[in-house]
Every structure is written in structure tokens, then in C-alpha cells.
Amino acid sequence: MKYLPLVLANLGRHKKRTVLTIASVALALFLFASLQTVVTTIAAAANFGSARRLVSTNATGIVFTLPIAYANRLQAQRGVEAVTWANWFGGRYGDGKHFFATFAIEPKSYLEMYPEMVMPEDQKQAFIRERTGALVGRHLMETLGWKLGQNVTMQGTIFPGDWTFTIRAVYVPTSAQIGEDVLMFHHEYMEERLGRPGQAGWYIARIDHTDRAAPIAKAIDDQFRNSSYPTKTGTEQAFNASFATMWGNVSLLMGTIGLAVVFAILLVTANAMMMSARERTREVAVLKTIGFRDTTLFGIVMLEAGVIALTGALIGLGGAKVLYRATHFNGGGFLPGFDVTGSTLAVGSAVALVLMIASGVVPAIRAARLPVISALRQVE
Amino acid sequence: MALVEIRDVHKSFQRDTQRIDVFNGITLDVEEGSFLALMGPSGSGKSTLLNLIAGLDKPNSGTITVAGADVSEMTPGELAPWRARHIGFVFQQFNLLPVLTAYQNVELPLLLTRLSKKERDQRVRLALGVVGLDDRLDHYPRQLSGGQEQRVSIARAIVADPTVILLDEPTGQLDAKSSQEVLGLLRRLNSEFRKTIVIVTHDAHAAERATTVLQLEKGDLIRSSGVPSLRSGDAAATAGMTR
């Protein structure tokens, strides 16, 4: 600790350079944490889902629909306790300025299926009763400044036209993976507006026992195998995971970008450390003349690199943690529960440590090995 | 036994393919409490001799003993703490760390000791008081005159109470008035505090303050005859030399 004033004084020698170097490290670690969090959020979403819920989609692909008439046949399937369905709406709000997840749902059965969505009972009943009612996540309400009972008009992108809903209920999710930036409305209302095509995007079935998920899923798919709309049924977790795989090998991509950023910053930091050490050749020689050991000088230079890396890590990683939590960032509703995890912070800290060692070790060795006489002669 | 004993030291440098012999068997004793001035033209080996005594450089052969320790046999790992304990070094260009205050510069050698912060504080204030700069503790080198900078440098050299103080052209960058101040201070350190001082200088006025003056010419040590007030009467300041 007694060398800390010397370390800080050295870092204060070129304040702008030190600040910019710390800012570079902070930015690199902020980006690293952000990209890593995209990966962990997608992974968490893929892992979310009740083992007692099965999801049936059109076997051809999720963008294709299934007949609404399947609801009764699914309900009749042995082992199925309850069935609900939903449709992706894909609208925009405020002259197309705001985009968030919007679903048409069968309200009563959907809310029974998802007890993770919590709301006052009177609001719930008001939403179920009113055909043009909307159920909105709390954060979306706060973000857009909406009030309960307010009429909101959305512009349909898949289903054209203006769609006006009255907000009747506000939900709070008990799981971070259920986004708070979602608007839901009655599937019946959509059916009516579209001339009753009788289509649902996907079905969700609650089964009686988790052990029976595979045979029930197979039985459902067998039932519709030779129809015009064959199904593909799996657990909700597998369904969510399939969304994750739609992103491609996101982990590899994000990891590669993150490491590339960190590597680029490593070069910047190493260069700054080298410049700083080179400028102090004479001072290092003087310190050796005074009696500073090679190991002490090595430690002082490494400590300087450490202060830069640690400060950058605190700003970058801490900033990412605080910023995303404070702003409830969720990637427009596509990354619900976006939060920098402890493991990401730990990996980020390890990256900062590597950054410190890699950027500091060369100038530190140089300082330790500096021949005093030639260093003094060089500048005198 | 002399405080510094240099015995049959050979030293040469290799410059490209050319070998330059600096010393060919130099022998010198510096007694404890003496004030020795080494004079001579550029390239005569004055600074090299200082560097050898400080353990900053190694002789090709021969021995250099300071306070009973054979410096020429020490490893770099042994030399650093030894230097911290026994050597105070003053450079021509002051070589204060520009990012540290006068106080912090003087404190540097004490960081290598086991002294507490309070003890370090007392020592630093005492050293700066001795050189007459106890009112400049928080000044950075750029806020000091050349003479003041050199006095801070001397305070740094004496703060750990070293066995020998080595000065390489300490007045080379100073005006006449500052030079006199610094030289007066060195004389006081020698006479009042009994510090052993070896100074390398071109300046006859500087050498005048020494108790013994030796001339180095082409690697040979000869007793100077050109310095008028060589204080041969000072018993503590005798330097034996042979070639």
C-alpha cells in the first residue's frame, strides 16, 4: 500500500491518456458484459417453461397457423387438463415509433395456464369481460405512460389497420423470463376483425403429469399427422429453446465479437502502458539507484496496469449491471429478463485480470530488467 | 580499514568491436568521514568509478568493498537492498520524479525500509530541514529552482542515513549562487554530520570544499596539484592510492 501514492502519481502524469485508457477498458468490458448477457438471457429463456405445459405448433413452421377447432380435440386428449391458444400480432404503436411484443390470446384459459402473470382480480375479470380489452405488462405501461382504462391504438403490421384496445389490466410477472413489455388482447376480437379465419398461432396444453409429456406429445402429433395441419408438439421448454436456436449460434457469435473487442482494447491498453513505461526510463533507473528491487518495480508497473483494469472493470461491468437494471432493458421485448448475471460479472472480472496481466507484463519486465547505467547514460 | 576499499580494479567497455579500457588496476581507499573530490576530463572514468562504488556497475576484475561488503561479488538481488541501506546518490540532473512532491521524492528511499509512516514523516521533515527546504514540502520539482531541486535531491540521498553519499557533478546544472549553497551544504554534512562524501566534479570551486582531491586521467589516479586549498590536514579525509 505504501507504493500506492507512487502508482497513482504515475497514472496522473498524463491524465487524459489515463482517462482515455480506462474509458477504453470500461467500454470493452461494458460491451463484453452486454454481449454475454444476450447469450445468458437467450439461454435462460430457452430453459424457462413448465414441464407440465406442452406447446403445439404447425409442423411446417411456427409462422403457419393451426385451426381453432383443434382446441376441443386437444382438450379431449387423454392426460390433457387444460388448453389455451395464442397468436403473434406484431403491431406498432405511436405512428409506428414503438414496437413491442403483442399477442392475441384466449383470455380466461390463458391466464389460468400462466399463473406467473399476476394482477388484481378485478382487473383480471374486467379484461376477460371486455372483448376489446387489453392486458399490459407493468414496465410497458410505465415506459409509454399509459393509464388503466386508456384507449390505445396500434397499427397492425401482419394484420393491417388500426386496432384500438382499452387497457383493463396490468400484470407483473413472477418470472423474469415472462417479459413486462407485452400487450395481450382477445383472440376473439382478432377473429372477428379478420372475418373469422378460425386460426390460432399455437396451442398450449397443461398435462396431468410431467412424466407423461413425451407420450402425450406423440399422441397429439399422431392425431393430426394426416390432416392438412399436422402439428409439432413438445414441452414449453423445448419450444422456447427452439426460439433460441432460431438466432443461430448466438453464443459463438457474441463470444467472438466480445473477445475481438477485448483484444482490440488490450492492444490499446498495452500500447498506453508501453508508452508510459518508455517515458519513465530515466525514473526507473533512478529508483533502481535508490535501491528499488527489480521485483518491486515489476510490481509497481503491474499495479498501474491493475488500477487501470480494475477501474475500467468497475465502470464497465458495474455500469452494465446498473444501467440495464435501471432501464429495464429487454431488447424491445425479445430479451425478457435481460440482466447482467453474477457469472457474467465473474467472467468479466477474469477478462479484466487477463487484460491487466497482458498489458502490464511487458513494460513491467522491461522496467525490472532495465540496465541502470545505460538508462542513465541514454538521457544524460 | 577504510570505509571504501578499491583493489586492483580493471574495467573496460565494449563499443561495437572496440574495447575501451577505463581502469587498468586502480586502487583507492576512502576513509570514513572523508570528503573526496574526483576530478578529471570527460571520459577519464570519474562517473564509472562512482557507479562501481554504488554497485550500479561491475568491474571486470578486482574488488570493491564498502563498509566491509564486497560489492563486486553481490548479485543484483542483493545489491538493491544493500544500495538502499548504504548509498545515497545525487545526480547532475537532479533526477527528481516530476509527479511527486519534494516530500514524496525524499520519502522514496524510506519506502524500502520497515519504518512506520510516522517515522518516515519525521525523517523526511528532518532531511528537508537540513537542506533548508522544510517550507517546500508540497512543492513539485517544476515549482522549485535548480538549486532547490538539487537540495531536495541531496535530502533524498541523506534521508536513509547512508554509509556513503556519492555525487555526480552535483553543481553541473547550477548557477554560481546555487552551486555555493549546495557545496556549503555538502561541507556541512561532512563536517557537522560526519557523512562520508565522494563527489565527481569538473568544478575547481566544488573540489575546493573537499578534504581530499584526486585527479583521474586516462584511468589513472593522481593526487591533484591544481586545487589550491586541498585540506591535507584533515585527518579523517585521507585517500590512499596506488597504480
Half-sphere exposure of B118 (CA within 13 A, CB side): 0
Instruction: Give yes or no for B95 touching A (CB within 8 A).
Output: yes
CA dihedral (B188, B193, B194, B195) in degrees, to 10, reads -80
Mean pLDDT of A104-125: 95
**Grid coordinates of B72:** 563486486
Per the CB < 8 A criterion, the answer to whether A315 and A26 are in contact is: yes
Residue of A nearest to B100 (CA): A9
Contacts of B91 in chain A (CB under 8 A): 286, 376, 380
B49: CB partners within 8 A, 6+ apart: B6, B23, B26, B28, B38, B200, B216
Q: Do A294 and B109 touch (CB under 8 A)?
A: no
pLDDT at B238: 40
Per the CB < 8 A criterion, the answer to whether B51 and B111 are in contact is: no
- From B98, B104, B108, residue closest to A290, measured CB to CB: B108
pLDDT at B230: 34
pLDDT at B228: 37
Cβ pairs A/B, distance under 8 A: 67
Max Cα distance, chain B (Å): 54
Place of cell 480506462: A22
Nearest CA of chain A to the CA of B134: how many Å?
A: 21
Contacts of B46 in chain A (CB under 8 A): none
CA dihedral (A278, A282, A284, A289) in degrees, to 10, reads 160
Angle, helices A281-290/A294-327, rounded to nearest 10 degrees: 130
Place of cell 425478457: A336
| Phi, psi for residue B32 in degrees, rounded to 5 | -65, 135
- From A13, A282, A296, residue closest to B95, measured CB to CB: A282
Q: Do A289 and B54 touch (CB under 8 A)?
A: yes
Asked if residue A323 has pLDDT above 70, the reply is: yes
Q: Do A294 and B92 touch (CB under 8 A)?
A: no
- From A5, A286, A290, residue closest to B104, measured CB to CB: A5
Q: Do B109 and A380 touch (CB under 8 A)?
A: no
Instruction: Give yes or no for B87 touching A (CB within 8 A).
Output: yes
**Grid coordinates of A226:** 394426416
Instruction: Give per-residue pLDDT as tens, A149-196.
Output: 999 999 988 888 999 999 999 999 988 778 888 999 999 999 999 998
Q: How far apart are CA A89 and CA A185, in angstroms?
A: 10
Residue among A4, A18, A286, A298 with most chain B CBs within 10 A, to mutate = A286
Q: Do B80 and A288 touch (CB under 8 A)?
A: yes
Instruction: Give per-residue pLDDT as tens, B58-111.
Output: 999 999 999 999 998 999 889 999 999 999 999 888 899 999 999 999 999 999
Helix (H/G/I), strand (E/B), else coil: A328: coil
Residue A243 pLDDT class (50, 70, 90 cuts): low
Nearest CA of chain A to the CA of B144: how many Å?
A: 18
pLDDT at A189: 95
Q: How far apart are CA B163 and CA B98, in angstroms?
A: 27
- From A294, A373, A380, residue closest to B56, measured CB to CB: A373
Q: How far apart are CA A233 and CA A214, in angstroms?
A: 9
Residue of A nearest to B115 (CA): A2
Percent of chain A residues past pLDDT 90, beyond the cut: 57
Sheet with strand B4-15: strands edge to edge = B69-70, B61-66, B4-15, B18-30, B241-242
Instruction: Give per-residue pLDDT as tens, A254-269.
Output: 878 888 888 888 888 8
Nearest CA of chain A to the CA of B44: how many Å?
A: 15
Contacts of B112 in chain A (CB under 8 A): 290-292, 296
Residue of A nearest to B140 (CA): A9
Contacts of A12 in chain B (CB under 8 A): 99
Instruction: Give per-residue pLDDT as tens, A215-239.
Output: 999 999 999 999 999 999 998 888 8
Looking at per-residue confidence, does A332 or B122 come out higher? B122
Residue of A nearest to B86 (CA): A291
Instruction: Give yes or no for B235 touching A (CB within 8 A).
Output: no
A107: CB partners within 8 A, 6+ apart: A127, A128, A133, A135, A184, A186
Q: Do B83 and A289 touch (CB under 8 A)?
A: yes
Q: How far apart are CA A43 and CA A249, in angstroms?
A: 11
Concatenated DSSP letters of B105-173? HHHGGGGGS---HHHHHHHHHHHHHHTT-TT-TT--GGGS-HHHHHHHHHHHHHTT--SEEEEESTTTT
Q: Do B109 and A2 touch (CB under 8 A)?
A: no
Residues in chain B where the model's pLDDT stays below 50 = 225-243
Looking at per-residue confidence, does A251 or B88 come out higher? B88
Chain centroid offset of residue A172 CA: 19
pLDDT at A246: 61
Q: Do A291 and B112 touch (CB under 8 A)?
A: yes
Q: A133-137 and A151-156 as β-strands: parallel, antiparallel, unpaired?
A: unpaired
Asked if residue A275 has pLDDT above 80, the reply is: yes
| Interface residue ranges in chain A relative to chain B, Cβ cutoff 8 Å | 2-3, 5-6, 9-10, 12-13, 282-283, 286-294, 296, 372-373, 376, 380
pLDDT at B105: 95
| Phi, psi for residue A291 in degrees, rounded to 5 | 125, 10
Closest CA to B111 of A299, A365, A304: A299
Per the CB < 8 A criterion, the answer to whether A104 and A89 are in contact is: yes
pLDDT at B4: 93
pLDDT at B242: 42
Residue A244 pLDDT class (50, 70, 90 cuts): low
What are the E-state strand segments in B31-68? 35-39, 61-66
pLDDT at A240: 75
pLDDT at B198: 94
Per the CB < 8 A criterion, the answer to whether A74 and A204 are in contact is: no
Asked if residue A327 has pLDDT above 60, the reply is: yes
Alpha carbon separation from A155 to A92, A98, A100, A102, A159 (Å, rounded): 5, 10, 12, 11, 9
**Grid coordinates of A99:** 414496437
**Grid coordinates of A247:** 438466432
Asked if residue A252 has pLDDT above 90, the reply is: no
Q: Do B83 and A290 touch (CB under 8 A)?
A: yes
Kindly state the DSSP code that residue A179 receives in the 8-state scheme: -
Per the CB < 8 A criterion, the answer to whether B200 and B226 are in contact is: no
What B135-142 contacts at long range (C-beta under 8 Å, 24+ apart), as own/partner pairs, is B136/B102, B137/B101, B137/B102, B137/B103, B138/B101, B138/B102, B138/B103, B139/B101, B139/B102, B140/B98, B140/B99, B140/B100, B140/B101, B140/B102, B141/B94, B141/B96, B141/B97, B141/B98, B141/B102, B141/B105, B142/B98
Alpha carbon separation from B230 to A82, B27, B217, B224, B236 (Å, rounded): 113, 21, 18, 8, 13
pLDDT at A39: 84
CA dihedral (B209, B210, B214, B216) in degrees, to 10, reads -60
- From B57, B93, B112, residue closest to A292, measured CB to CB: B112
Residue among B11, B111, B113, B149 with most chain A CBs within 10 A, to mutate = B111
A312: CB partners within 8 A, 6+ apart: A21, A22, A23, A24, A25, A26, A28, A29, A352, A355
Instruction: Give yes or no for B20 touching A (CB within 8 A).
Output: no
Q: How would you class A133 by CB atoms within 10 Å of its CB: exposed for 0-12, middle for 13-18, buried for 19 or more?
A: buried
Q: What is the residue type of A105? A: I
* β-bridge mates for residue A66, sequence order: A200
Alpha carbon separation from B76 to A301, B5, B83 (Å, rounded): 19, 20, 10
**Grid coordinates of B74:** 553481490
Kindly state the DSSP code that residue B201 receives in the 8-state scheme: -
Q: Do A286 and B92 touch (CB under 8 A)?
A: no
Asked if residue A202 has pLDDT above 60, the reply is: yes
Nearest CA of chain A to the CA of B48: how many Å?
A: 9
Helix (H/G/I), strand (E/B), else coil: A369: helix
Mean pLDDT of A200-215: 92
Q: How far apart are CA A242 and CA A42, in angstroms?
A: 11
Helix (H/G/I), strand (E/B), else coil: A274: helix
Q: How far apart are CA B62 and CA B242, in angstroms?
A: 14
Nearest CA of chain A to the CA of B133: how many Å?
A: 21
